[in-house]
């Protein structure tokens, strides 16, 4: 039992090391040799836990997906209000990016989508599960009168996804000297104000105003 626990801890350390390398040296640095160096073991010792780089990357991906899944479960346990659920989930993602700046860079890298397409498909399944769960949250929020109904739930979901993904990418690349906590609060306020604005109505397509045609 102890050996199994030690092995699981070591596997977690290896996954964490792979993510750290993405930040410090870039995706191209993800080699077995470099990951072993980061963990503090020899490459042969690393092979006792993983068959190679693809398995290590799969573990890193599963590690992050597991954190995402637990964040959703916690958000749904803490409140039944859909807007509060979304807020809890949003800020849990922000905290994840603060701890692991490599995550969004890793998720949107060519490594997943071109070099290791099997990992891209794995991530796609995670995104589909996230879409299904959160689309239902938006739908229930609309039904309860908490979320505006003039936007399709799937489109609100994509906007929500971009809300923290773009923030994570900017922070992960250290652009704009971004204060991720402060910017996250602003992002959420803008998003929440929009989705809970029940009085707003979209302009009619083709309606002329001040001699200008409104393009839908």
Whole-number Å distance between alpha carbons of 82 and 37: 45
> Which of 31-35, 76-80, 209-213 has the lowest average pLDDT?
209-213
pLDDT score recorded for residue 153: 97
pLDDT score recorded for residue 200: 60
- The tens digit of pLDDT for each residue in 110-125 reads 777 888 888 889 989 9
pTM of the model: 0.79
Output phi, psi for 191, to 5 deg.
Answer: -65, -45
- Structural domains in the chain, sorted by start: 55-198 (1.10.357.10)
Nearest to 149 by CA among 193, 198, 194, 190: 198
pLDDT score recorded for residue 213: 41
SS (H, E, C) the chain: CHHHHHHHHHHHHHHHHHHHHHHHHCHHHCCHHHHHHHHCCCHHHHCCCCCCHHHHHHHHHHHHHHHHHHHHHHHHHHCCCHHHHHHHHHHHHHHHHHHCCHHHHHHCCHHHHHHCHHHHHHHHHHHHHHHHHHHHHHHHHHHCCCCCCCCCHHHHHHHHHHHHHHHHHHHHCCCCCCCHHHHHHHHHHHHHHHHCCCCCCCCCCCCEECCEECCC
Percent with pLDDT over 90 in the chain: 39
- The tens digit of pLDDT for each residue in 48-63 reads 888 888 888 888 888 8
């Amino acid at each position: 039992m102890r050996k199994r626990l030690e092995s699981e801890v070591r596997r977690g350390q290896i996954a964490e090391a792979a993510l750290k390398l993405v930040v410090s040296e870039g995706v191209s640095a993800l080699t077995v040799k470099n990951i072993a160096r980061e963990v503090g073991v020899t490459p042969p010792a690393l092979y006792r836990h993983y068959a190679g780089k693809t398995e290590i990357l799969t573990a890193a991906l599963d590690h992050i997906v597991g954190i995402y899944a637990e964040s959703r479960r916690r958000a749904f346990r803490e409140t039944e209000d859909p807007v509060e659920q979304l807020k809890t989930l949003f800020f849990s993602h922000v905290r994840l990016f603060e701890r692991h700046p490599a995550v969004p860079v890793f998720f949107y890298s060519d490594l997943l989508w071109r070099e290791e397409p099997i990992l891209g498909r794995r991530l796609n399944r995670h995104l589909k599960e996230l879409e299904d769960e959160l689309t239902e949250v938006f739908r229930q929020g609309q039904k309860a009168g908490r979320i505006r109904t003039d936007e399709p739930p799937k489109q609100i979901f994509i906007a929500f996804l971009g809300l923290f993904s773009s923030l994570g990418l900017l922070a992960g690349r250290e652009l704009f000297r971004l204060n991720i906590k402060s910017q996250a609060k602003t992002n959420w306020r803008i998003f929440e104000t929009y989705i809970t604005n029940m009085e707003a109505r979209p302009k009619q397509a083709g309606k002329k105003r001040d001699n200008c045609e409104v393009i839908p």
